[in-house]
Chain A
Amino acid sequence: MMQLRTGLAAIALLAAPFAVEAQSIFNSAGLGRPVDAVDARARSLGSLGIGLQGGYLSPADPAAAGRLGFASAVMVTQPSWVEASRDGTPVGDFRGTRFPLMGVAYPVLSGMATVQLGSYLDQRFAGQRVVSVDLGGTSHDVIDDFTQEGGVSSASFGFARMVGSDVSVGLNVARYTGSVIRELARSFEGLDLEGTQSFTSSGFWSYSGTSVTAGATADVGSVGRLAASVRWSSALDADASEGTLGGSRSFDMPLEIRVGGSAVLMPGLILAASAVHADWADIQDDLAVATGVGDTSGFGVGMELAQVRFLGRSAPLRFGYRYNGLPFALGTEGTGSEKTFSGGMGFAFNETNGVLLAAADLALERGERSAGTLSERFWRLTATIRVAGF
């Protein structure tokens, strides 16, 4: 067990940047809650990370990197504050921070080679229940604490380039990474007995698998852009570590289709819209616990005021709305959905000849996840640092 623990700690450290932190009670449903690896600009526009103006790094829009003119890097951090309630009655507050995306693009072979690390499924949560046990004819309450730490991340390598002057194509090949520790501990402190020791049962699984995302973007006239991408995934394999009594498993991942577009309605005013569809139905047979499964269809729309300036520098303002479904049912509550209203701004620290060499973006979302009588209202802040030309 000690060796197992040591191994777990080492792997957890390696995976730490993308062992996404808990930010929702819906993490406890099925394989967890999907997390989009998108930056603050996309968040503030309600976007699903595809079809935006300009070049950018986004695992969901591999072709967008082809429009980057220079070597670029992006890092995204995302704290959130959540209030959960059932039937309108508060049941708990929690908060967390994750780093949903880090990426680098570098010019190669007349295109852009990319390396991106992104979140995929957030699985961290904790649960507790009080159990009545009969000891020698007397009933006593003991406490079961369950913790699940970890999640699924994606490490991708890609290439994108322009085909002609209006079209960009891209391809990302990704490996699923990450791990999860599930531990159930029963404590007997309530028995008022000297020297009780907790009962603990745990397991550690490492995730692996492959996904391929292909995408293209095309300019429509001088004011519009359309983009689409398809992600195919192999099965997500969860390999039990040595010493884990639980078995290894394999889960079918859905085919995911995204489309998006943006248009310059007038100088300085840009409209963006995107949609996604992924049907998780095939995974149902892979789940040992009977769990309702849905799809993650969703859409987002937003608007950018691109010519706003602040302190003499470009500081676009953005607003958006986004809706998408959650794939797994939470108990008897059914599959839920997430809705957010968002706002944000960018700020160009260093812009030379129209090229952003250093910029930051912020997005603040007010949203709600709900399923049946259970709901979460949350504030989510996303901050992005972008640098280019290094």
Chain B
Amino acid sequence: MAAVSLAVFAACSEQTPTSIGNDVLPGEPITLSIEIPWEEFGSDLVVLGGYGAPSDIGTGVVANAFAGTLNARTLVRFGAYPQSASVVDTEGTTVTDTDLTIIGGRVVATINRRASVFAGPLSLTLGATQDTWDLASADWEHAVDTIGAQLPWTELGGGPVTPLDTATWDPSAAGDTISFVLDSAEVADWSDASDPSRGGRLDLVTEGHRLAISSVQLRLDARPSVNPDTIVSLNVAEREITFIYDPEPEVPTDGIRVGGAPAWRTVFDLQAPTELTGPPELCSAVGCPVTLEPGQISYAALVLRSRPTEAAFQPRDSLGLDVREVLSRDALPKAPLGSPIFGSQGLRYAASLFGDDGGTAVEIPITPLVRNLVEGVDPETQIPFPNTIALLSAFEPRSIAYGSFYGPGSGANAPVLKLIVTVGASVELP
């Protein structure tokens, strides 16, 4: 009996027979591809900027007349200095020393080569800011630009600075860091954490380049009281970083823009077809007109043609792009958005599409959004699905660079809605 039981269980794992031959399967559905021009599916396109701030990225940018136009500077501010450290005293015992004498330090900047545009040794300077400035709202013109206060820099581009050090970064060398040496007085000037003007400004001296700064650290050299013959190195853990740049890009009048910092979004209304009157092979098979059902949309994509972005803002790294529903167009530019349809990473598009490979057709799949529009009303909430969608960066903001596409009115380069539609007769009993 035990053997029987084993045999029965062995067969309980079903393997369904698969028929051989088509004659017992229902008739074949028809699948066809349709391309709809912008005029028939899109309208009211606007490009909106100002989403987020460079400080949200947590990295810096320095540029000097890059592409003949772009200047960018990085602003950093460090937190309170460490008040104690574990050190080995003269008798070899590790103790906590709270009486440290800071004798100098270094500001170490790390350069992100992949996101930078450079050639040859580059010279950078570090200066101490003098104007009061606000991390979240500072830009090229304003040190503070909040609802309650608007303070311009006393000099455009970060105000006057007290020069601290100049250093050279040689890209041909192995390292990706550059150090600026500070003496004890310069370190002491930065010690007051409550001073809103305290901070450092990193400038690129060499013209024609753009460097992405992935981090800036302040390392202090201190002499412990328990062992004055030694020097200990202390990291200042807290730091804030942003960047300011000039000129700000103009709002495009005939294109689509996504990315940048603050970020750009492109918003437009999407009209999905609800009825098909062709092509002939469809009509001959199931009769026309065919009322589209959401489940018949097998694939939907915006077909955009990439456009070379202004050289100063061309991406050097791939661009993560997302599409989201705009839940209330009337509330633009601060309208709430629906969930991302590509997840947290977005769909990645090569940086070259917005440079040398400009003019390439790019498909941005939006199948669930088009299915929703064909459905019309959310069956659970009975609320109509929004027909306004936004193209935006997956992380916002992500980089000073942005991607560009040709917009409506660009002739053969104008956006197209591509649909793959499958229509079949209902499944019947044999």
Using a CB–CB cutoff of 8 Å, the interface residues on chain A facing chain B are 1-2, 21-25, 27-31, 77, 79-82, 84, 86, 91-97, 124-129, 131, 133-136, 142, 144, 146-147, 180, 182-184, 186, 188, 191, 193-203, 205, 238, 244-247, 249, 287-289, 291, 330-332, 360, 362, 374, 381, 383
Contacts and interface: CB of A to CB of B under 8 A. Distances in A.
What's the interface size class on B, roughly?
35 or more
Contacts of A24: 17
Given A128-B18, A144-B25, A182-B26, A246 B8 contact: no
A199 B427 contact: no
A142 B24 contact: no
A96 B14 contact: yes
Contacts of B20: 25, 84, 86, 91-92, 374
Contacts of B8: 77, 79, 97, 381, 383
Interface string B16-54: 111111111110110111010000000000000000000
Contact of A330 (B24, B366, B428, B429): B24
Contacts of A194: 347, 363, 365
B1 A288 contact: no
A200 B363 contact: no
Interface stretch (B81-89, B253-261, B293-301): B293-301
Contacts of A134: 32
Contacts, number: 189
B11 A201 contact: no
Given A79-B11, A188-B420, A125 B298 contact: no
A362 B4 contact: yes
Given A97-B14, A246-B428, A331-B24, A135 B32 contact: yes
B376 to A, nearest CB: 15
B17 A201 contact: no
A186 B298 contact: yes
B430 A30 contact: yes
Contacts of A238: 429
A84 B8 CA distance: 21
Contact of A22 (B17, B32, B368, B427): B17
* Closest 4 pairs between A and B when the two form their complex, measured CB to CB: A79-B11, A195-B365, A245-B426, A199-B422
A137 to B, nearest CB: 9
Given A129-B25, A193-B363, A199 B19 contact: no
A228 B178 CA distance: 101
A340 to B, nearest CB: 17
B29 A196 contact: no
Contacts of B24: 28-29, 125, 127, 289, 330-331
